[in-house]
Chain A
């Protein structure tokens, strides 16, 4: 092809146009990028930086120094030891030492605190940590997340399958579902806290008493063993609607002909669910699982309102270290741990489930 002067001019014009478009695009993006750098990227960098210092805030006379990985070591140093015991000559039973005192006497540079004791193959062990509160917060957050995601998915699936059929009052139900989702988490926590009250003025204790199931003084939120299940129940109530709505939207994309064909072939309802509904719902389910997991790992409101400083989630630990202890360094290190945990989960999930969001 012979390049005419006009042709060259035209091409140059196009590339100029493309350049102009590129410039405009970046100008349009600029405000968002500036905002995100200022409120997310820069503070994140600062959090990383202060996690390696002993920075404190509002503490006159305190000099901030570089402390290396000290904050991380404080948060994450663990030990598992068999608890020493003596055998009672009279009964032949083992008498274990007090695990807390045993850990104290170990004489390590950082004293260990007891996280919990457990038995394995007949020997009793103690799990110790230099910061038992954080390790407990990590364990609690993980248990909370796994339980929450499991129950929310199961319940959400039931609700979505129910609402997928057309029936009288379906629209009202969809509205009813949005309310727990929209309500302020703090508010729902306060309502449930009142329902879980540890005497019979609370709903559950009054109900259990009425049904003669219990004496009506169950400390749902004070009894250590019941605390986590109770907040999981609260959060499942709050987050199931979101899950159900996502799954409902996913269900509506499954073509009806598939079910009709399966029905003609004589497939049972259960068979239809496992060979049509579930596989086709997988992509939606995957995205919903990612959202729920990441959200549950970040849990703050519920733990802060219900437990305050009595029991922590990872996020409420970081916030409390900052505000109550003014320990910017330790709080930052905890924040970094949460950030990395969520980052790894996100990548892991995206890889595992092959989530592709059209970018």
Chain B
């Protein structure tokens, strides 16, 4: 085979592979979309149609007029935002201390934080549940606090490495100028680490938005506080006879859109945050 032909075959094969990967990644969304757009009669038809014959928005209307679903979006936004802000606030203090200051016990603390990032949440489930019941904490608040279990160690870990990467001269210059630690922190370091805060915050938010174990357990008796994952999983249970597949798919797409937008805007940052620590540059 001449070299040019071989090269052509090579690149055709390459693009076929790229297209195959793309279809593999995207197909479930396509299926969810066409299922959400099909009317009930077409949804239950066998065999399923691969392209919708009729398009309707009735499933979207139904799920968007479901008060429990709408409430769950609000709950999720509140819980995920608060958990993110709280862990950024508390975690950047700790990250600064670990990344830029010298003190005894620094290394063991680092190891403890690293170990915490691998912590299985289910290990504390019954203990947290008992604490919440005894203290009678409101559900939303207990969700925010319990989400810190995974957002906080992660934030501390990432912020530590970002702070460490900052030049020491800046810090010293500020100290020579007579600035206190707090002043240095707020006026010099925090503005410089804003990009890191955005990255960490995004990952913490996505983690909290997706969380299911705590949300399912702590809202078991109080459905009005359900977050999105719990509400969408229980859509199927609301009507005994027929599973409202169209509505579930419509709801699935609605709650995925914000994430897709975040991913589109912050793609580079998310990848950076995900791979931080995993790859030694």
Contacts and interface: CB of A to CB of B under 8 A. Distances in A.
A342 B120 contact: yes
- Give the interface SS of chain B, mostly helix, strand, loop or mixed: helix
Contact of B127 (A18, A31, A47): A47
A287 B94 CA distance: 24
B274 A216 contact: no
The interface centre, meaning the residue of A25, A39, A314, A331 with most chain B CB atoms within 10 A of its CB, is A25
A98 interface: no
A174 interface: yes
A77 interface: no
A210 B259 contact: no
B259 A183 contact: yes
B257 to A, nearest CB: 11
B75 to A, nearest CB: 14
The interface centre, meaning the residue of A210, A288, A315 with most chain B CB atoms within 10 A of its CB, is A315
Interface residues of A, number: 98
A38 B146 CA distance: 10
Given A32-B94, A185-B212, A194-B245, A245 B274 contact: yes
Interface stretch (A106-114, A127-135, A270-278, A296-304): A296-304
A176 B22 contact: yes
A331 B130 CA distance: 12
The interface centre, meaning the residue of B93, B264, B281 with most chain A CB atoms within 10 A of its CB, is B93
Interface string B228-259: 11101100100000000100110010011001
The interface centre, meaning the residue of A18, A301, A304, A336 with most chain B CB atoms within 10 A of its CB, is A301
Contact of A216 (B46, B102, B120, B260): B46
A298 B150 CA distance: 13
Given A36-B149, A191-B32, A237-B25, 9 more contacts: A31-B90, A36-B152, A47-B126, A57-B133, A169-B18, A176-B22, A190-B232, A201-B47, A298-B121
Interface of A: 18, 21-22, 24-26, 28-29, 31-33, 35-36, 38-40, 42-47, 50, 57, 159, 162, 165, 167, 169, 171, 173-180, 182-188, 190-192, 194-195, 199-203, 205-206, 209-210, 216, 237, 241-242, 245-246, 249-250, 253, 283-284, 287-288, 291, 294, 297-298, 300-301, 304-305, 314-315, 318-319, 322-323, 328, 331-332, 335-336, 338-339, 342, 346, 357-359
Interface of B: 14-15, 17-18, 21-22, 24-26, 28-29, 31-32, 35, 43-48, 50, 90-91, 93-94, 96-98, 101-104, 106-107, 109-111, 114-116, 118-131, 133, 145-146, 148-149, 152-153, 156, 181, 206, 209-210, 212-213, 216-217, 220, 228-230, 232-233, 236, 245, 248-249, 252, 255-256, 259-260, 262-264, 267, 270-271, 274-275, 277-281
